[in-house]
Amino acid sequence: MTTDMPKKSWITHLPGVWVPYAQLMRLDRPAGMWLLFAPCVWSVSLADCEFHGGKILLFLLGTILMRGVGCIWNDFLDRDLDRRVVRTCGRPLANGAVSSQQAFVFAVVLALGGAGILFQFNPFTIWLGLFSLILVGVYPLMKYVTFWPQAVLGLTFTWGALMGWASIRGALGLVPLVLYGSCFFWTLAYDTIYAYQDIEDDQKVGVGSTALYFGGRGKGAIAGFYSVFFGGLYTIQYLQGFSWIYGMGISAALILSLILVVRLNLKAPKQCLRAFQQNKWIALIIWASVLLENLLR
């Protein structure tokens, strides 16, 4: 197992002083950003047949900034732990490339940018966004008190499923609630896969994860999480009155997830990382299915 800092990335072309800050934001690892962004755009597209490019752009920018804030907060709390784990010892706060004070100032700047974006939305969406900060704040602490930090991440990372709909409708309804619940299980699936990279280190340092909780039963649990996720997406097909076009797209994403689980070797960290990253294609297929349904309605 090696450090999770990519040796080659586009950020190496940035001025040297900028590189550790880009690493703090995980700009060299965009898969997590796309997984955070996906529930937002699914929800926007489910809320209205029209393509709301302006709102989608705001969600994209907000995702980049607030993911950065969350990653910095996580790395700040875990800086001592990260130094003891091979995969994370190269992170800027763990290796001293950025000081705690510098990281704090940078996080404040990013948060102010995120606030500027949030306040472009309607009041209900603004309040939803502010409430999500509670989840962002407590998530990094959960691995110290439970084997289920992935569940708290699920509540946090899928919040866009509520905000996207609210940004269009100014309220919530059954569809965004079903989407939020579905995406919760999707997050459990892909983040459990991700957690298997660290299962040995987590056991040594005494933190919890669903990977440790399930152990050798992990593939079955992951398959179950994906099953609930796709069950929710098919329920949305019924609630929205969508046609076979959406259903075929969701089925294609389901097949991709089945192939992913069947091929998954939870004892191979690099394969776990690749499987985690493949979820961005599942996200893209689902969004394309909703967009095509809207276009042809």
Tens digits of per-residue pLDDT, 221-268?
A: 999 999 999 999 999 999 999 999 999 999 999 999 999 999 999 999
Q: Determine the angle formed by the axes of helices 31-47 and 269-296, rounding to 10 degrees.
A: 20
Q: Give percent helix, percent strand, percent coil of the chain, each to the nearest 5.
A: 80, 0, 20
The pLDDT value recorded for residue 4 is 59
- Structure-token match 């500027």, residue found: 116
How far apart CA 240 and CA 295 sit, in angstroms, is 14
Amino acid residing at 71: C
> For residue 127, is pLDDT > 60?
yes
Mean pLDDT across the chain, nearest whole number?
Answer: 91
Provide the sign of the torsion angle of the four alpha carbons 291, 292, 293, 296, taken in this order. Answer: positive
Residue 1, pLDDT > 50, answer no
The three-state secondary structure class of 211 is helix
Maximum average pLDDT range among 88-102, 119-133, 192-206: 119-133
Contact present, 98 and 21 (Cβ < 8 Å): yes
For 159-182, b/e burial (b = at least 16 CB within 10 A) is bbbbbbbbbbbeebeebbebbbbb
Residues 6+ apart with CB under 8 A from 242: 236, 293
Amino acid at 262: V
Query: Based on C-alpha coordinates, what's the Rg of the chain?
Result: 19
Extended strands (E) in 26-71: none
Tell me which residue of 269, 274, 280 sits closest to 196, measured CA to CA.
Answer: 269
> From CA 201, how far away is CA 188, in angstroms rounded?
20
Sign of CA dihedral 168, 169, 172, 178: negative
Question: Cα separation of 23 and 3, whole Å?
Answer: 13
Window from 4-18, 160-174, 256-270, 282-296 with minimum mean pLDDT: 4-18
* pLDDT (tens digit per residue) in 45-97: 999 988 988 999 999 999 999 999 999 998 888 888 878 777 788 888 888 88
pLDDT value at 193 more than 70: yes
CA 286 to each of CA 45, 175, 251: distance values in angstroms, whole numbers, following the listed order: 11, 15, 9
